[in-house]
Amino acid sequence: MEFAKLGTSGVEVSRVALGTWAIGGWLWGGTDVEQSVRTIHAAVDMGITTIDTAPVYGFGLSEEILAEALGRRQVPREKVVIATKFGMEWDEQQNTWRNARPERIRREIDDSLRRLRTDYIDLYQIHWPDPNTPIAETAQVVKELYEAGKVRAIGVCNYSVEQLDEWRRHAPLHSVQPRYNLLERQIEKDVLPYCREHGLAVLAYSPLARGLLTGKFTANPNFKPGDSRQTDRRFTGENYERNLRIVEKLKVMAAEKGKTVAQLAVRWVLDQPGVTVALWGARTPAQIQEAAGVSGWRLSQDDLARIETILNEADQEAAR
């Protein structure tokens, strides 16, 4: 397993982290708690130290499963880096909305600490920008939590460069969590260069594009009820057909290296300058064990050029 520092925080993270959105079950068609516990155990066994969760993942369930799994194994608290989030609220009907007001954050961190069975969080991240709360107010209360020792590092998710600038005027910032994968590269224009310039760690979420880059999907995907990929534009219409063509070509390239297409896709993310961590989402032991094949090698310049050619050819075909 490869490791890196989380920006200027001093926290050391595994460069492949376990992402637990699917483990929470929300928008993934439910979850199997015992299987989820085994998945977390498999991640720990293979040397993954960093686990990313959030209160809204299963409305507390993902955090609770993580605590249960670590508790059963009696994993020493200092041996795991727990990253969780704040700023999403929900009701009994599972409607969700953004809320990053100070009073909400103070309540949320106590709820997360209780569910996670810990007295501090290694990385505390705002989940989405809240358009109804000034960033200064949110940043100030998180700064207070950081100075009180409840939080070891501060992160933001899904922030623009302008929002990053505003946050940094009011509080420390150690990491940024954006969506980033071979098929979705918008952050290369602004957020990624900004993070490189200012020494911010980048935790790339969805490096497998919600499973699309695992190579396990066919022309007619079959999703469980409640799985939001049924209406995800990446999995429908011409977009999906284009993505499948790309994946088939990447499969050939990966096989030549003795790798799976998922391992190739995540290695590509990790090899991009400025990327610190890739969040590998999994809900079975086999899914996370595949991540072992990501570490210990790099893509050459020729490999990177070949991948660019595959992507460009797919764009040209789609434009015809």
Using DSSP's 3-state secondary structure scheme, residue 55 falls into coil
Q: Which of 57, 159, 180, 194 is catalytic?
A: 57
DSSP state of 171: S
Q: Pull the structure tokens for residue 140.
A: 């100030």
Beta-carbon contacts of residue 19 (< 8 Å; ≥ 6 apart): 52, 205, 279, 280, 281, 282
- 146 vs 26, 143, 151, 168, 192, CA distance in Å? 29, 5, 5, 14, 25
Count of CA atoms in the C-beta half-sphere (13 A) of 90: 15
Whether 94 contacts 145, CB under 8 Å: no
Q: What angle do CA 104, 65, 275 make, to 5 degrees?
A: 75
Instruction: Compute the radius of gyration of the chain from its Cα atoms.
Output: 19
Active site residue 159: no
User: What residues are labeled active site?
Assistant: 57
